[in-house]
Amino acid sequence: MASNKQQLKLNPCSAILLAGGKSKRMGQDKAYIDFLGKPLIEYILAKLLNVFSEIVVVTGHSENFHHGQNTLFVNDLDEFKGMGPLAGIYTGLQTISTQCAFVTACDMPLISENTILKLIKSFKDNHCQVLFARNNLKIEPLLAVYSINCSNSIYQMLKGGNKKVQAIASLVETDFLDIHDQLEILNINTPADLEKAIKLKSLKYI
C-alpha cells in the first residue's frame, strides 16, 4: 500500500502550521504545552511529516526553533505582523514551493492523517481555490486547503484591515468538506480542552 507521501507525490501539496497564537485562555504558549510527553507543536509536526514533504511553520518567534527535516520556521511578514491567522496563512502561501497548502493550527492534535488526505483530495477534485472543513454547518477556516492563487485576495483583505479568515469565501471559489466527527476538530484552548484531548488519545481514539 502506498504511503501518504506517495499518494501526494503526483499532486504535491505543502502544509502550513500556524503556531503564533497568544494563548490567553490557556495562560501559556500552546506550542510548548506537554502533550503525551512532547511539546504540542512537535506532536503535530510528527503527524504532518507522515503526510507532507514540505511544512512551513508560521510563528512569532521562529528564532526559538531549529529547522528540521522538510520543515521551515518563519515569522509573519513584517507588513502584517500581529494581524492573526490570516496573516500567517498569507506568509505561509508566500513561502511554500507547491501550488497549494493544507493549513492547520498547533492546537488541533486529534485531526487524523486520513482526514487530511480527504481534504486535499476534495480540494483537487473540486478545482476550487479554498476548501474549508465544516462540522454541523460550522466552518473551520484553520482546517482547510488553500491555493496560492488566492494569495492576492488575502493580501487585499489584510491591506484593508479585514482579518476574518473565512471572509475569503466571498472573494474566491470556495468549497466545503463535512467532517462529521467533532472530536477530530477539537481545539485545545483551555486546560480542560487539553485534559480531554489527552484522555481521548490515551483511549486510542485517534
At residue 109, the pLDDT reads 86
pLDDT tens figures, 17-58: 998 766 665 656 777 788 888 888 888 999 999 999 999 999
pLDDT tens figures, 64-113: 566 677 899 999 888 998 899 999 999 999 999 999 999 999 888 889 99
Quick one: what percent of the chain has pLDDT higher than 90? Answer: 55
Domain edges within the chain: 4-202
- pLDDT-based confidence at residue 127 (cuts at 50, 70, 90): very high
At residue 1, the pLDDT reads 43
At residue 32, the pLDDT reads 79
Is the CB of residue 201 less than 8 Å from the CB of residue 43? no
- pLDDT-based confidence at residue 129 (cuts at 50, 70, 90): very high
Predicted structure pTM score: 0.89
Q: 4-202 — its CATH code?
A: 3.90.550.10
Determine phi and psi for 202, rounding to 5 degrees. Answer: -65, -25
Q: Which residue has the higher pLDDT, 136 or 25?
A: 136
Tell me the C-alpha to C-alpha distance, in Å, between residue 51 and each of 5, 44, 62, 94, 107.
Answer: 5, 11, 23, 21, 18
Q: How many Å apart are CA 96 and CA 60, to the nearest integer?
A: 18
